[in-house]
Amino acid sequence: MTLQFTSAKTKNLPDILTLQQENLVQNRSLESIQKEGFVTVVHSLQNLKKICGSYTHSIALDENNKVVGFALIMLKDYRNEIEILKPLFNLVDTLIFDNNPLQEARYFVMGQICVAKAARKQGVFSKLYAHLIERTKTDFDYIITEISSKNQLSLKAHAAVGFKLVHQHKSDLGEEWNVVILPL
């Protein structure tokens, strides 16, 4: 499979939402969750356009220009756009990494990263991050995201591209979450 890594255009956003729906935790079997991972946040077309501000999301396109992977930028200016992510931004405001208060740092949140089943095990995950980093490294110091401990595949993949654990906590429902950070 030949892939192109590029910036998402408005015409790609519906494909991102389709891929997201296919990989939402509530749409997957327990076996596929454990074996292939999952995504948690449900985005709308409107907030996909908005949360990245003047930046664009990174995508992987196959030979037919179909989105087979995406990495979503969520700027802290839009911290109140997605209800489920508000607690993450509030928590990040209290954290310190390498003696730097993150509230004062130049960071964005990885709003979500996902790779289609047909494109897995081809380095797409790391290439999406490489594309994103290349475009944002002069404007930001960190990428921050939060990963459920149930999503071991995602934890391992993020560690492989250099993310470090900065905080671990339990949600109100008792689920363990890991806040991880990638210095740029």
| Residue 179 scores a pLDDT above 90 | yes
| Domains parsed from the chain with CATH numbers | 4-183 (3.40.630.30)
Residue 38, CA atoms < 13 Å, CB-side half-sphere: 19
pLDDT band at 171 (very low <50, low <70, confident <90, very high): confident
Q: What is the mean pLDDT of residues 132-153?
A: 96
Secondary structure (3-state) at 168: strand
Contact 124, 62 (CB under 8 A): no
Residue 35: predicted pLDDT = 80
Residue 107's closest CA among 135, 137, 87? Answer: 137
* Secondary structure of 72-100 as H, E, C letters: EEEEHHHCCCCHHHHHHHHHHCCCEECCE
Q: What is the mean pLDDT of residues 18-22?
A: 95
